[in-house]
Amino acid sequence: MTPSVLVVGAGIASISLCTALRTAGHQGRITVVGAEPELPYDRPPLSKTFLTGTTSSEQLALRPPSWYEEQRITMLMGTPTTLLDPEARRVELADGTKLDADIVVLATGGTPRTLPVPDGPLRDAVRTLRTHRDAEALRARMTAGTRLLVIGAGLIGAETAASASQRGCRVTLVDPDPLPMARAVGPEAAAFLHAQHTDHGVRTITAGIKELTTSDGTAAVRAALTTGEVLEAELVLVGIGITANTDLAQAAGAAVDRGVLVTADMRSSLPGLLTIGDAARPLGPDGPRPRIEHWDNARRTGERAARTILALPEPPPRAPWFWTDRYGRHLEMAGHYDPEAEPTHRGNLAAGDGSILFLRDGHCVGAVSVDRPNDIKAAQRLIDRRIPVTAVQVADDRTPLRTLLA
Ligand SMILES: Cc1cc2nc3c(=O)[nH]c(=O)nc-3n(C[C@H](O)[C@H](O)[C@H](O)COP(=O)(O)OP(=O)(O)OC[C@H]3O[C@@H](n4cnc5c(N)ncnc54)[C@H](O)[C@@H]3O)c2cc1C
């Protein structure tokens, strides 16, 4: 039997799934329904080159428009799915359309968390960044001299601060954590990343937000900080993370815990329902693991789901990988930062050219680099293949890391 597949959500996870199905010769019907009006586009540039103006809307497209027809994939864009009937394997769209398929895949991503903002003329000045439309609106307001307050110095907040400073905005970045991202990349790489803001004229403040007010008749949003300071800004970006879009799965009775719980082959607790990308939370032997909100994970989980649908064997697990770009520097991380592991340096990361590999029990468990993607490519393979390495081998910066793979 060639199962028909219906995918709810049209981001990178969804398109990776469709691509993998067709590449493997799947002949069945594929339908993708997406809440946003645009054909699938890439999100990472939204906080980077799209905000600075060097990437256009057209360049964001994940596939050219002709691709969907060539691949016989029906795209129903601009209409959210409102109901999922897992027994009938049917979904209902906001316009009343009902669609069924042998297999339903949720690829619904996440929604940015925000902060309470009272109604008032400046409500629109407080924004989040997830979609193309969000980025367009933000970019239009990022004129030179605009005071921008960025709340949250994670991936999206920090990248937006960098892009805005490049556009001539006067940027203040507030985060309660004195070393944002340290748990993800380790303290040394986090210190390098955070110091970049100050080096480029962005004011960083370690504080939480007590209150945002917008209705006192001034032309600016007022942000009361936990330190007692009050900041004013014409534009505010709230970058405090996302919540997984799990409503459909939850209402359908799937097991959900801050993400749709899935096994390694991306199956949810309901037969015929898979979940991929940011919306999925993997189950490990000891229970749910942290949800991963990175582009490569979305891509790979889409490919994994395709193998499940095609009844192909599961691929071996891969070390997670992500990147971030700010102020012209490119950071990559593979595997996990482990505070118990021995940090081993190649080059000088603190000076903006180097890598740190985290070694534990004679193996690499994680690696972070600035402007050294080849180190990360090799480190990822060292992790995946569990190749034994020593600190002396890793620290020898004259020998490419890939030679350790032989
Ligand atoms: C600004 C920005 C910058 C980023 N930069 C990086 C980076 O540098 N490195 C990195 O590794 N990762 C980065 N990421 C994260 C990465 O883009 C995400 O992990 C990835 O997009 C997740 O893909 P997804 O397909 O799971 O979800 P999404 O891309 O969010 O796609 C989900 C889609 O489903 C739709 N949808 C939701 N509910 C419904 C419904 N009920 N009916 C129909 N459709 C629905 C949504 O509208 C959306 O279009 C960034 C993300 C953003 C927002």
In the reported structure, the alpha carbon of residue 219 is separated from the centroid of ligand 1 by a whole-number distance in angstroms of 33
The preferred substitution site among 60, 111, 294 for testing ligand 1, maximizing ligand atoms within 8 Å of CB, is 294
Q: Which atom of ligand 1 is nearest to the CA of 80?
A: 42
pLDDT at 185: 98
- Whether residue 394 contacts residue 401, with contact meaning beta carbons closer than 8 Å, is answered with yes
pLDDT in tens, 257-292: 999 999 999 999 999 999 999 999 999 999 999 999
Q: What is the mean pLDDT of the chain?
A: 96
| Superfamily of domain 328-405, CATH level 4 | FAD/NAD-linked reductase, C-terminal dimerisation domain (3.30.390.30)
Single pTM value for the model: 0.97
Is it the case that residue 196 has pLDDT exceeding 80? yes
Q: State in Å: Cα 289 to ligand 1 middle.
A: 20
Distance 12 CA to ligand 1 centre (A): 7
Mean pLDDT of 149-161: 98
Locate tokens 């505070």: which residue? 339
**Ligand 1: lining residues by beta carbon, under 6 Å:** 8-14, 33-36, 43-44, 46-47, 80-81, 107-110, 129-130, 155-156, 245, 248, 277-279, 293-296, 298, 322-324
Q: Structural domain boundaries of the chain?
A: 5-111+242-309, 114-238, 328-405
CA of 42 to the centre of ligand 1 (A): 8
Which region among 1-5, 63-67, 80-84, 387-391 has the lowest average model confidence (pLDDT)?
Answer: 1-5
Residue 83 has pLDDT above 80, yes or no: yes
Q: What distance in angstroms lies between residue 401's CA and the mean position of ligand 1's atoms?
A: 32
pLDDT tens, position by position, 116-146: 887 777 778 999 999 999 999 999 999 999 9
Q: Which atom of ligand 1 is nearest to the CA of 15?
A: 25
Domains 114-238 and 328-405 share a fold: no
Does the pLDDT of residue 246 top 90, yes or no? yes
Residue 73 has pLDDT above 90, yes or no: yes
Q: How many whole angstroms from 39 Cα to the centroid of ligand 1?
A: 13
The fourth-level CATH superfamily of domain 5-111+242-309 is: FAD/NAD(P)-binding domain (3.50.50.60)
Confidence of residue 161 (pLDDT cuts 50, 70, 90): very high
Nearest CA to ligand 1 atom 47: 35
Question: Tens of pLDDT along 313-347?
Answer: 988 989 999 999 999 999 999 999 999 999 999 99
Looking at 3.40.50.300, 3.50.50.60, 3.20.20.120, 3.90.1150.10, the CATH number of the domain 114-238 comes to 3.50.50.60
Q: What is the pLDDT of residue 217?
A: 66
